[in-house]
Copies of this chain bind each other. A is one copy, B any other.
Amino acid sequence: MDSKVVSLRSKLEIYKANSGGGNIADCPVRDVIQGISNKWSSLLMMALAEKPYRFGELRRLVPDISQRMLTQTLHDLQRDGYVHREVFPTKPPSVEYSLTDLGRSMFGPLHQLLQWAELNHGAVRAARTAFDAADA
């Protein structure tokens, strides 16, 4: 219990103290988390955790993502090592995206968070409704 608090403190205040001239903005945990804390990353991870998908399949699976952001998010996930991109020499060429070992490893804890969201979206919606009613 206390160990959790200590480990948290280390990530913020003690991190700042330990890293001589280092800014907390350079914190490696932030660096990693911010790569997956954006609108589309977790959704695409969720899709690719199920099975590999092609570019067009992902676009149809997530109809409200723009082609531009699908390209860019997949590129970023590939760069961070979560996603593998493979081009098949069909006519026209098709591209398949799949999770790497690192991607599957990261999806473990991410999946826990997704499950929490599934279980608790009722509570979150209720909180929003109450909050919006309060200042009305």
Q: How many copies of this chain does one complex carry? A: 2
Question: Considering the chains assembled together, what is the distance between the CA atoms of A77 and B63 in angstroms?
Answer: 27
Contact B80 A46 (CB under 8 A): no
Shortest CB-to-CB span from A14 to chain B, Å, is 11
Q: Is the interface of A mostly helix, strand, loop or mixed?
A: helix
What 1/0 flags go to A11-43 for Cβ under 8 Å of B?
A: 111000000000111001111111111110111
Interface size class of A (residues with CB under 8 A): 35 or more
Residues of A at the B interface (CB closer than 8 Å) are 4-5, 7-9, 11-13, 23-25, 28-39, 41-43, 46-47, 49-50, 61-64, 78-81, 102, 105-106, 108-118, 120-121, 123-128, 130-132
